[in-house]
Chains A and B, each alone.
Chain A
Amino acid sequence: MQNTWIISMRELKERLRSNSFWAMAIIGPILVLVVTYLLFALGGKHKTHWNILVTDPSGIMQNKMMASEDASVSYSFADNYLEIEEFAKGNRFQKFDAMLEVNEKVFSNKVAFLFYREKPSTKMETKIQYQFEKRLEEIMVGQFTELSIADFRKIKQPIQVGFRNVYDPKDEASDLSGWVGLFFGGVILLFIFLFGMTILRSISKEKSNRIVEVLLASVKPRQLMLGKITGIGLSAIIQFILWVVLIGVGLYFMRANLFPDLLDASKMDVVQMTEAMRNQTLQQQMMSAREYNDFVDLVFERINYGSMLTYFVLFFIAGYLFYGTFFAALGAVSGSESDGQQFVIPLIFLLILALYGGYYAMENPASELTTWFSFIPFTAPAVCMVKLSQGYPEGQGYLLIVSFFILLLSSVLVLSIATRLYKNGILQFGHRLGIRQLIKWSSKK
């Protein structure tokens, strides 16, 4: 155990010393920030004025939304219940861009739905959500409490507006939140690939410069392999923390300077949400993920960073172990560096399949194949991130844990096969690697 640690610390130091590590730590977050900025900037070029019909049979809103006029959005009120289909197809409703459905349940479940004809921009979603939330606060304070609005805001629960396509109202998956999951899943796969290749190169190098035999006289092949995977994995986690910090600072800067109008959207809520999330148990965090990461103001307000990052790290570790052992075994069995690269191609295909699995899960959240993908270790890291960001249906949160443990157990299993390959291949030099050899080496203890 101690030797594994010594090996991993050496590996970590070597990574931290390399220029490529620091280049990636800077270029990666910058790319993410640029893409995020572009998405925001482009997202602002949607329809400039929104005409919204509020159906309010109980008269909750009292035919009013804002004290003052807003140039970009106007509300009309109907005091009767309206079928979605009627709104979608009825001629007299065509002048409205969206319908906001409000009924008495909003006081208990804090959810209302907006059915749009054309998807509003993130900015517009934020605005509608914000205005609706503020109006409801006034009403609730006036009707139910003696508190001031400021005091009430400290204790209230955030209101969630579900944005749905009026032509496809049952589609509960938010494409935006799905993209967040796919982004996180994609980052996991990217990290697995980059650091997996680092494992492979590092082992090939040790083989070619023949330090490996000196090491094997003091440590077991398994310790050597684990130490290497651990050390490089730790460097990946450090890299990831750097990404989080740099992207976090970048987003903060963007929010404060580039998109100040987003700042309106109740900063207090964020504090409240993060505070609440911190105190929540895992189960509750998953619930929060379900409640908060839908739609509006996705990046700044609605992603549950607490649970996304937690599961990101867990799935990254398990996924990295799973794939990392393949890379390590491949590095050990290859006769030359080019040999290893040739056998990396199937691994790259698997990673691409995993990415596709994530995309498929985003597009077809309820499909049976998505469920299978979330259990198959090769595709689980990306698919589970997408599923997590979309929110597991109530009562099915445990499926995420199941996926995680399947992945973890598979890693342990793969590790034992990889150890055999590593042990039998590491001291073989200059051969041409073939499938038959791989089978032979993996079967010999």
Chain B
Amino acid sequence: MLKLDSISKSFFQKLALDDVSLSINEGEIFGLLGPNGAGKTTLIRVINRIIEQDKGTIRFKGELLNDKHLSRIGYLPEERGLYRTMQVYEHILFLGRLRGMSKADVRTNYNYWAEKFGMENWEKKRIEELSKGMAQKVQFVSTVLHQPDLLILDEPFSGFDPINIELIQQELIEMKAKGKTILLSSHNMKSVEEICDRVALIHQSKKILEGSVSAIRDERKTGNYAVRFRGSMIAFVNALWTGFELIDKEILGEDRFVAHVKMRGENNFQDLLQTLLGQIQIEAAWEVLPSMQEVFIQEVNQ
């Protein structure tokens, strides 16, 4: 869908992107991660042709990216604003027309989203009359109104309230199901874990990591397991003996815990379960993979 090849961009001697290559497949949700100032927004602006790269090429569905592709892309920037004195529908019509839509198409698509987001009676409202959450919906609708094939969202979850975050996550998943491609940059690692298929990590202008979320987490697993159980913590520790090491615990209730355990020697998950059986009442047990947050911190600090 989108293929970036050796993209470099500098602003007056300051290198913002250094030889970044990426490949985003059709129908996937791709997360662009990185600390502040890493170059994510610059990369997103380059893809949107807001700024031009110094070196490298971008291909959109196999063709060199050009202005005519812009009507197939939807973009919600991190710093997003609306004209405060305009009415909701007027504003959406304005942005839709700029994306090359006809007035009739804007009307049809707006009606669809208005119904979906409960915006039916907002048409004549001025933007300044809307609450922040309502304005966020208008921003999202104006981004997806022209049914783009590629949706680019820069920090879509920052500034959104939890209800809207949930709403937008659901929409993104639905859009993915319809075959749309989504590129999002985010600091919200929980959301990234939940909805992204693949991610790339940009640090100090360079891409340092790219891959599927599950593979990245799997590669970094440390052999830790978690067990949720009922019973006594002392009994649990006694049962572990020397083959396993308790590294962390969470108290869920008077006799209910989650214990994090590290294997010693040749012991495996099977051995752990056998050791514990009969000593405590196991409710659940699973392998603990590093969270994307941990992967992120680890990679950036390396």
A contacts, CB < 8 Å to B:
3, 6-7, 10, 14, 17, 206, 209-220, 427, 429, 440, 444
Contacts and interface: CB of A to CB of B under 8 A. Distances in A.
A427 B50 contact: yes
A427 B81 CA distance: 13
Given A14-B85, A427-B50, A440-B12, A218 B77 contact: no
Contacts of B139: 214
Contacts, number: 61
B84 A209 contact: yes
A210 B84 CA distance: 11
Contacts of B70: 217-218
B42 to A, nearest CB: 10
Contacts of A212: 81
Contact of A213 (B12, B50, B84, B86): B50
A342 B173 CA distance: 49
Given A17-B85, A427-B51, A440-B12, A210 B98 contact: no
What is the predominant secondary structure among interface residues of chain A facing chain B? helix
Contacts of A14: 83, 85-86
Contact of B81 (A3, A211, A219): A211
B99 A218 contact: yes
Chain B interface residue number, banded: 20 to 34
B127 to A, nearest CB: 10
Contacts of A10: 83, 86, 94
A391 to B, nearest CB: 47
Given A10-B94, A211-B83, 9 more contacts: A14-B83, A14-B85, A14-B86, A209-B82, A211-B81, A214-B75, A218-B95, A427-B50, A429-B79
A427 B9 CA distance: 15
Interface of B: 12, 45, 48-51, 67, 70, 73, 75-77, 79-86, 94-95, 97-99, 139, 142
A14 B126 CA distance: 13
A186 to B, nearest CB: 31
29 contacts: A3-B98, A6-B97, A6-B98, A10-B83, A14-B83, A14-B85, A209-B81, A209-B83, A210-B79, A211-B80, A211-B81, A212-B81, A213-B45, A214-B76, A214-B80, A214-B81, A214-B95, A214-B139, A216-B48, A217-B48, A217-B49, A218-B70, A218-B95, A218-B98, A219-B98, A220-B67, A427-B50, A427-B51, A440-B12
Sorted from nearest, which 3 A-B pairs have the closest CB atoms? A209-B81, A210-B81, A210-B79
B136 to A, nearest CB: 13
Contacts of B67: 220
A217 B75 contact: yes
Contacts of B99: 218
A217 B50 contact: yes
A210 B77 contact: yes
A440 B86 CA distance: 36
Nearest to A211: B81
Contact of A427 (B45, B49, B82): B45
A443 to B, nearest CB: 10
B80 A213 contact: yes
B172 to A, nearest CB: 18
A429 B41 CA distance: 14
* Most B CB within 10 A of own CB, among A7, A211, A212: A211
A213 B97 contact: no
A209 B84 CA distance: 9
B106 to A, nearest CB: 12
Contacts of B95: 214, 218
A211 B82 contact: yes
A120 B104 CA distance: 67
Contacts of A213: 45, 50, 77, 79-80
A210 B83 CA distance: 9
